[in-house]
Homo-oligomer: A and B are copies of this chain.
């Protein structure tokens, strides 16, 4: 799986893996792919520093990247407390009622909420970048589109390529015009924030919209056949995320959640605003149902919803409250039925890719 982009980055397979776990990101890179560490969960710069140190020690000098969540537009002087104050009391009550209904215990006194949304705030993302540019990262990806112009310039000064997620050809073009290097075209079937256009249509649309800039296809990709499909559509590589959640190197801090992912079918996800206020695909649970119920108060806009539910999500995860327990994940969850090592996932995917190409050669009437 060699494309212009994989050659440029010096990786063996045009396979990019996004993950919040350093152990997974490093293993993807060691296996010949390109590991991208998600930074949204780091609120203190020294936590990120510690994990990037670890990445350095475990990637054999091979390239890896960082994924931040940074809005292109800056909102001046707004603190987390200001945002907290904008949350209506009725919504707080709805959270409390929904948790009480399922008997979800409180966190221990003084215990910090493990699931936090503060990484979404620009000042936090910027403090992460101050740390990250001290490391030899090769790619900076932004989950909320183009980063601000000064961040793109700073990345380029450090020889770091900039990637931005897009859900439509128009967004992809906008990101390209902002000066980014790679578009990640994230289809409807993807886990996390996603638009309504499916990968089969979005990938070629994005490729055409930003050519000759490279596009990575995201959404619905976990097997070699799916990678072959994405590359047939013109992508220069695949951007995967969900598939790594059930690898043996991943640590979801909840056996119950891992089991839920292994058992879920492709129809068991929902695109809901419950987690962040923007539509994000995740496991469908009684928690997402409560927020998506027309009889409920509905969700708040980003970043209010994320702040509103952060503690609740931490409690649900800590106490593994099964009917409410979920996570962002794509429709590919239906194929995540066994725990494999990262190396095994990479081996299966690259072997499946070759089989798919063999199959197409037979269909087109060529012998190999």
Contact = CB atoms under 8 A, between A and B. Distances in A.
A200 B188 CA distance: 10
Nearest to A14: B363
Contact of A201 (B196, B231, B334, B368): B334
Given A225-B204, A229-B229, A233-B225, A364 B357 contact: yes
B197 A187 contact: no
A365 B169 CA distance: 29
B363 A169 contact: no
Given A200-B220, A331-B197, A363 B3 contact: yes
Contacts of A205: 266, 334-335
A168 interface: yes
What is the count of identical protomers in the complex? Answer: 2
Contacts of A90: none
Interface in A344-367: 353-354, 356-357, 359-361, 363-366
Contact of A168 (B195, B267, B332): B267
A189 B204 CA distance: 14
A102 to B, nearest CB: 26
Interface of A: 1-3, 14, 168-170, 187-189, 195-202, 204-205, 219-221, 223, 225-226, 228-234, 265-267, 294, 330-332, 334-335, 353-354, 356-357, 359-361, 363-366, 368
Nearest to A356: B232
Nearest to A217: B200
Nearest to A294: B294
A88 B213 CA distance: 55
A81 B222 CA distance: 50
Given A2-B364, A188-B188, A201-B334, 15 more contacts: A2-B363, A3-B363, A168-B266, A168-B267, A198-B199, A200-B229, A201-B331, A204-B223, A204-B335, A225-B232, A229-B233, A232-B232, A357-B357, A360-B360, A366-B368
A361 B234 CA distance: 13
Given A201-B334, A219-B200, A220-B200, A230 B231 contact: no
B196 A187 contact: no
A15 to B, nearest CB: 12
A191 to B, nearest CB: 12
Contacts of A1: 363-364
Contacts of A366: 357, 368
A42 B367 CA distance: 46
A170 B334 CA distance: 12
> Most B CB atoms within 10 A — which of A2, A14, A265, A363?
A363
Contacts of A354: 364
Contact of A226 (B169, B226, B233, B332): B233
Given A357-B360, A357-B364, A219 B233 contact: no
